Amino acid sequence: LKLLAAAPPLQSLEELRLELVPEGQSGLVGFESRNCGDLSSLAESCPTLDVLRLLCPGFQMGAHPTLRVLDARLGTLPASLDSIYEASLPKLKDLHVGFELPSEEPMNKKLIWPEETLKTLLKGKGLKSLKRLFLWPEGVDARKFKLPKAAPISKWARLKVVSSNRLTFDTDAYFA
C-alpha cells in the first residue's frame, strides 16, 4: 500500500488482491491477527478500482468512489466490518464477508462475530447501493447456519450464505 501511495496513480487498474501476509508483517502471525491497514489511499492510487479482494481480516476501509466488489470472504474482523459501514462506497454492489461460528475449539477466535455484528450487517447501515451480500461462515456447524427471515437489507439486496469449502466460488482469484 505504501508503494502504491508513493507511485503515480494506476489509471487502468480495475482489480487488486492484497495477500495473506500484508507488507511489514511476519508470516508467523496468526491469520486472525493480520491487518492490511488503512485502505483509503487506494482511492487515489487506483482511481478506477472496481474489485478489491482482501486476504487478511483486519483493515480500515476508507472511501472508494468506484469500488463495485469488496471480497473479504476468508475472514472479516468486526472492526473491519464497522469500517465498511462508515466508508463512502456509493457503487458497491457485491460484498463478500467471512466469519467464524462459535465452537468448542475455534481456529480464529477474533473472527467470531458477536451477535450484534451480524444484526448490524443485516440492517444494511451504509450499504444502500448493495445488490448482493455473500456470507461465508466457517466452522463445524457452518452448514446449519441460517439467516434471520426478516433481515432489513433483504429489501434491496439478495442474501446468500456460501459454504466456506467453496472459497473459489465465483472466482479463482484466491488460489492463483
C-alpha cell at 23: 507488507
pTM, two decimal places: 0.86
Residue 146 has pLDDT above 80, yes or no: no
C-alpha angle 83-89-93 in degrees, rounded to nearest 5: 110
Looking at every residue in the chain, the average pLDDT score rounds to 84
Is 84 within 8 Å of 123 (Cβ atoms)? Answer: no
Chain segment 51-75, per-residue pLDDT in tens: 999 988 999 999 999 999 999 988 8
Chain segment 113-123, per-residue pLDDT in tens: 888 888 888 88
Distance CA(154)–CA(159), nearest Å, equals 6
C-alpha cell at 152: 432489513
pLDDT at position 34, please?
Answer: 83
